[in-house]
Amino acid sequence: MIIRQLALRQGRRSLAPQWRSARRWMSSEVDSISSSMQNSLNETHSIESMLNSLPGERVQPIDDETHQTADTENIGTVFAEFKRQRELQKPLGAIVTPHYEPHTLVTNPPRPSDISLELLLASQAHMGHSTSLWNPGNARYIFGIRDGIHIISLDQTAAHLRRAARVVTAVAERAGLILFVGTRPGQDRAVVKAAELSGGCHLFDRWVAGGITNGTQILGRGKVKVVDEFDQEVPGFEEQLVERASVKPDLVVCLNPMENYVLLHECALNNIPTIGIIDTNANPLWVTYPIPANDDSLRCVQVICGILGRAGEEGKTRRLAAAQAGNITFTPADGFVMPGEEKTEQQKLPRVLKLGASIEELEKQDAMGNRPLKKDPLPRNFIEGEVRERVPRFHDAKKDL
Amino acid sequence: MGVELRYGLRRALHSLRAPPTWQQRSCVASSHRTSRPSKAFSTSTSHRQEPFTAAPEINLSAENNIPILKRIRVVPASPSYFSGKPAFTDDLLALQALLRKYQTLPVVETGHAPRIAWRTFESYKSFLGSEPIKASKYQRLVAILHRLNHIHPSLMPQEVKDAMERYKREINPFANVAKPKPVDEWGRAMGLGRRKTSTARAWLVEGEGEVLVNGGSLAQYFGRLHDRESAVWALKATQRLDKYNVFALVRGGGVTGQAEALTLAVAKALLIHEPGLKPALRRAGCITRDPRKVERKKPGHLKARKMPTWVKR
């Protein structure tokens, strides 16, 4: 360790370009060149001799259990001194102009109010894919072609990102469960942070197929809890939780839709709105709220995920503030009775309607406030290669709750 | 809360409307009595009045008006709910966060950290319950633990110690160290060795190189030169043949087994005298017990593995 540091320090000095010698070389004086070479040779020899004189032995540990050695015994004080020195020296030197610090996108992500074309351009949100890989559905988001790749129009990106942020805020305000999904390597920290900010869930590993359509089997083991408007757990409902179906997200934010076909398909089948980063090669119809941007740049993905996480945080703050003022901003869970009480005959009826149920049965279910499970399929917006205006269907799944 | 309020209000209304009960009547009566001039200045309560506490103040804030069923919702207990293995994912995230927090602390050299036996994959799986975890995922977790364990022991934060405690095996196998055997009062060190079905006990004392096996000399007991050599190979390999006397008792097995059981016994006894010889003896092949034994005969086989000759019909 010591030897390596010494070699690095001394070697750097000896190898550094010496302007004086260079100038001498320019002046074409033969004597000076040979003397400078002699000098550097001497220096190298002196380093060599110094290295050879150093003992090559390692310090023997004095304690087998803790592996303390004579010189590491006081490592605590040495380290404290090192930290103190570092703090002392922090304000010294040149003032560094603001620059890109990659970790800040995760530790302190930007807010929806920070969305600007400069931010998006700096994070390479405009870089699309090779023109041959494009999906024509993205035509309206594409600004042009440069060096064989599509350039995404950043004003479209900003507008769509703002809309998505508003959606996330609104869902979080209504206590919707937001699931952030980013399954590419490196996206995990951004996804976890966004979920933490917005009080939602995260997924960075792999979507287990059937998590929504076959939730009882796939997620049945996962623990759920009953919380009140302040997100505090309410005890006493554990027995009633056992017979309930698994929890489904109310909004899914997918950072890489290309790899998550199964998830988005399941969301569409269950009428769960989705937000996704749509690169020029992705199908914009897979998600409800597309954000045209570069999904291959980690920086861009972290910016977008961070903004949506912050949007969720804002919604959550609003919800908690409303709860403090005594207002409930969400629809409470149905089908619960007070602990210790019996369920009424109506509540005991199955919530799932069988195929071929009569009109009377449907009306009866509607009167009880139970929604029929089968929904209308998603409207087909893509007709004969022409992209139609997508009607925002914000959270219509919640309307008939 | 709502229930309490309702109860309080009902009691208040009840006390306003209802005719006075016998208790109240008696209170009134006693107050009449106390208002007599003879006891006019008495402030003490009558013994008939029962002590009570007034109903709590009416809380007019809106939240108490909403019944609990109208403000509950069901949420996952863990943010990793949709990963299908929430407990494991939470563990992994917690350890990653811990490592990120203490990344800059000084570390000991690789391989110099205290040895810790982490939970086996099976034990961790049963510890979590029934989550479908793969061994490779658990390896990621162990890798983080390994790195955390390399933080310098004198600077190890309590938080890290607590976190590592969760993943340690209940019994630390590295703490199970054999008790060192001492040289007895007559300067003897005893070693026990086994090979095949033979057992050998050897006592080593400092001396001139005399060897007694079951009461006879080495040459008398072992006819083969090779066996004589292997019996005292531990001394020969370390050039201690003329420094110790050996007294050995050998039981069971054949000649080769007994000779090689002696090798192990003598080597172990020698280690008691000179523990520093262990690497040399290991290189000489004297420390490892040879586990090979005669394989048992199986039914349907002629010997351990030999099958009867195949006949067509």
| ipTM of the complex as predicted | 0.71
Q: Is pLDDT above 70 for A72?
A: no
Query: Across the interface, do B114 and A226 touch by the CB < 8 Å criterion?
Result: no
Closest CB from A68, A76, A226 relative to B74: A226
Residues of chain A with Cβ-Cβ distance to B81 below 8 Å are 201, 219, 222, 224, 247
- Per the CB < 8 A criterion, the answer to whether B129 and B116 are in contact is no
- Other C-beta atoms closer than 10 Å to the C-beta of A80 total 12
Q: What is the predicted pLDDT for the residue at A340?
A: 83
Same domain, B67 and B119: no
Domain boundary among B47, B63, B84: B84
DSSP B185-231: TTS-EEEEEEETTEEEEEEEEESSS-EEETTEEHHHH--SHHHHHHH
A211: closest chain B residue by CA: B82
Query: Across the interface, do A75 and B155 touch by the CB < 8 Å criterion?
Result: yes
Encoded amino acid at A387, one letter: V
Which residues 6+ apart lie within 8 Å of A347 measured at CB?
Answer: A335, A337
Q: What is the predicted pLDDT for the residue at A51?
A: 61
Residues of chain B with Cβ-Cβ distance to A244 below 8 Å are 74
Same domain, A248 and A385: no
Query: Across the interface, do B153 and A68 touch by the CB < 8 Å criterion?
Result: yes
Same domain, B154 and B216: no
Note down the domain range covering A254: 104-324
Name the domain count of chain A: 2
Strands lying side by side in the sheet with B216-217: B189-195, B198-206, B244-251, B211-213, B216-217
Please give the average per-residue pLDDT across B266-281, as a whole number: 95
A396 touches chain B (CB under 8 A): no
Closest CB from A67, A195, A332 relative to B72: A332
Name the domain count of chain B: 3
Preferred mutation among A60, A67, A242 to probe B, highest tally of B CBs within 10 A: A67
Please give the average per-residue pLDDT across A157-184, as a whole number: 97
Q: What is the predicted pLDDT for the residue at B6?
A: 62
Alpha helix (H) ranges present in A56-153? 75-89, 104-107, 117-122
Closest CB from A219, A244, A328 relative to B81: A219
Q: Tell me, rounded to whole angstroms, the distance of Cα A353 from its chain centroid.
A: 38
Same domain, A235 and A356: no
Phi, psi angle pair for A205, to nearest 5°: -100, -75
Q: Residue A88 is encoded by which pair of tokens? A: 């002392």
The number of CA neighbours under 13 Å toward the Cβ of A30 is: 0
The number of CA neighbours under 13 Å toward the Cβ of A170 is: 12
Q: What is the predicted pLDDT for the residue at A376?
A: 41
Note down the domain range covering B267: 189-283
Please give the average per-residue pLDDT across A240-244, as a whole number: 89
Q: Is pLDDT above 90 for B222?
A: yes
Cα distances (Å, whole numbers) of residue A322 to A178, A187, A227, A275: 19, 33, 16, 26
Q: Residue B50 is encoded by which pair of tokens? A: 């029962």
Same domain, A121 and A239: yes
- Whether residue B274 lies inside any domain: the answer is yes
Query: Across the interface, do B106 and A203 touch by the CB < 8 Å criterion?
Result: no
Same domain, A227 and A298: yes
Same domain, B137 and B106: yes
Domain boundary among B124, B153, B175: B175
Same domain, A311 and A197: yes
- pLDDT tens for each residue of B33-74: 444 444 445 555 556 899 999 998 876 665 557 888 999 999
User: In 3-state terms, what secondary structure has residue A336?
Assistant: coil
Same domain, B154 and B194: no
Please give the mean pLDDT across all residues of chain B.
86
| CATH code of residue A183 | 3.40.50.10490
Q: What is the predicted pLDDT for the residue at A49?
A: 72
Instruction: Indicate the pLDDT class of residue A339, thresholds 50, 70 and 90.
Output: confident
Q: What is the predicted pLDDT for the residue at B179?
A: 87
Closest CB from B79, B112, B152 relative to A195: B79
User: In 3-state terms, what secondary structure has residue A387?
Assistant: strand
Phi-psi region of A157 (alpha: psi -120 to 50; beta: other; left: phi over 0): alpha
Question: Residue B245 pairs with which residues in a beta bridge?
Answer: B205
Same domain, B70 and B91: no
Window A:319-358, CB contacts with B under 8 Å = 323, 325-328, 330, 332-333, 336-338
Instruction: Indicate the pLDDT class of residue A12, thresholds 50, 70 and 90.
Output: low
Residues of chain A with Cβ-Cβ distance to B71 below 8 Å are 228-229, 328, 332
- Whether residue A36 lies inside any domain: the answer is no
- Whether residue A40 lies inside any domain: the answer is no
- pLDDT tens for each residue of A86-128: 999 988 999 889 899 999 999 999 999 999 999 999 999 999 9
A61 touches chain B (CB under 8 A): yes
CA distance A360 to A357: 8
Q: What is the predicted pLDDT for the residue at B21?
A: 43
Secondary structure letter of residue A69 according to DSSP? B
A69 touches chain B (CB under 8 A): no
- Whether residue B270 lies inside any domain: the answer is yes
Q: What is the predicted pLDDT for the residue at A233?
A: 95
Same domain, B78 and B7: yes
- Whether residue B251 lies inside any domain: the answer is yes
Domain boundary among B57, B84, B111: B84
Q: Quick one: B50 exposed, middle or buried, by C-beta within 10 A (0-12, 13-18, 19+)?
A: exposed
Question: ∠A48-A52-A56 over CA atoms, to 5°?
Answer: 135
> What's the pTM value of the predicted model, to 2 decimals?
0.67
The H-or-E segment that residue B75 falls in is strand B73-76
A202 touches chain B (CB under 8 A): yes
